[in-house]
Amino acid sequence: MLFVGEINFMSENIRTYLVGRSNSSVACDIALPDNEKSVSRKHMELTVTSSGQCYIVHTHPENTTKVLDRNGAWTLISQDYVDFDTPIMLGNYQTTARQLLALLSHSNGQALSQPGGVAAEQWEWDPDRATFLKR
């Protein structure tokens, strides 16, 4: 079993989530607020690999995806591995992979679960503490 933050993932599974702006025509796994117009309806894919790495793929031809590099500069990317706490900019919306995964339970009204359908403990992102807390 693999621990990402405080969320358990089965190591033999890979999970990919579609991240985008909330809307009625495209179902996103992780939906950002509808008023975030700089975020596309299908903005990027976020994959948690079996080895616990986070891989992001920018999927929209117009709006941008950037990551904050080690020198403190925002760098445009089309696809790359990122740390779970690396700042990511989707259009003008700043977040991290860890924060996006925390939104997963809120986007689809279900608690986070382990791949393979085995229920995991429920965790919620606490932005004040910048960590997950057990519900």
Measure the CA–CA gap between 51 and 106, rounded to whole angstroms.
25
Q: What is the pLDDT of residues 57-111, one digit of tens each?
A: 999 888 899 999 999 999 999 999 999 999 999 999 999 999 999 888 555 443 3
**Torsion region of 93: left, alpha or beta (phi above 0 gives left; psi -120 to 50 gives alpha):** beta
109: Cβ contacts below 8 Å, ≥ 6 apart: none
Measure the CA–CA gap between 41 and 34, rounded to whole angstroms.
9
CATH of the domain at 109: 2.60.200.20
Q: Is the pLDDT of residue 132 over 70?
A: no
Q: Which domain holds residue 8?
A: 2-134
Domain count, the chain: 1
Measure the CA–CA gap between 118 and 90, rounded to whole angstroms.
31
Measured distance between the N- and C-terminal CA atoms of the chain, rounded to whole angstroms: 21
